[in-house]
Amino acid sequence: MSLRSVLLVAGFALAALNLRPAIAGVSPLLDEIMDDVGLTPAGGGAITTVMVVCLGVFGPLTPLLARRFGLDRTLLAGLVVIAAGVSLRGLDGAPALYLGSALAATAIAVMNVSMPGIVKHHFPTRVHLMTGVYVSMVVGGAAISSAVVIPLEHATGYGWRGVSALLALPALLAALLWLPQALRRQERAANGPRPFATVLRSRVTWYVTALMGLQSLTFYVMLAWLPTIFLEAGLPADQAGYLLSLTNLVQVGATLAVPVLAGRRASQVPYVVGAGLLTVAGYLGVLLVPTTVPWFWMVVLGIGQGASFALALLIIALRPADPAAVTALSAVAQSVGYVIAAFGPLVFGFLRQVSGGWTVPLVTGLGVLVVQIVAGWFAGRPATLGKATL
Q: What are phi and psi of 356, to 5 degrees?
A: 80, 10
What is the pLDDT at residue 153? 87
**pTM across the whole model:** 0.83
pLDDT tens per residue across span 274-306: 999 999 999 999 999 999 999 999 999 999 999
Q: How many CB atoms lie within 10 A of CB 115?
A: 31
What is the pLDDT at residue 187? 55
pLDDT band at 195 (very low <50, low <70, confident <90, very high): low
Is the pLDDT at 390 greater than 60? The verdict is: no
pLDDT tens per residue across span 108-166: 999 999 998 899 889 988 888 898 898 899 988 888 887 788 888 889 888 889 988 89
- Within 8 A by CB and 6+ apart from 286, the residues are 226, 229, 297, 301, 362
Distance from C-alpha of 264 to C-alpha of 13, rounded to nearest angstrom: 21
Distance from C-alpha of 371 to C-alpha of 364, rounded to nearest angstrom: 11
Candidate CATH numbers 3.90.550.10, 1.20.1250.20, 2.60.120.10, 3.30.2010.10; the one for domain 202-380:
1.20.1250.20
Is the pLDDT at 73 greater than 50? The verdict is: yes
- Find out whether 373 and 270 touch, Cβ atoms under 8 Å: no
Distance from C-alpha of 102 to C-alpha of 85, rounded to nearest angstrom: 7
On the question of a common fold for 3-183 and 202-380, the answer reads yes
> What is the residue extent of each domain of the chain?
3-183, 202-380
What is the pLDDT at residue 385? 65
CATH topology of domain 3-183: Growth Hormone; Chain: A; (1.20.1250)
Mean pLDDT of 85-107: 92
pLDDT tens per residue across span 208-228: 999 999 999 998 888 778 888
pLDDT tens per residue across span 129-145: 898 898 899 988 888 88
pLDDT band at 382 (very low <50, low <70, confident <90, very high): confident
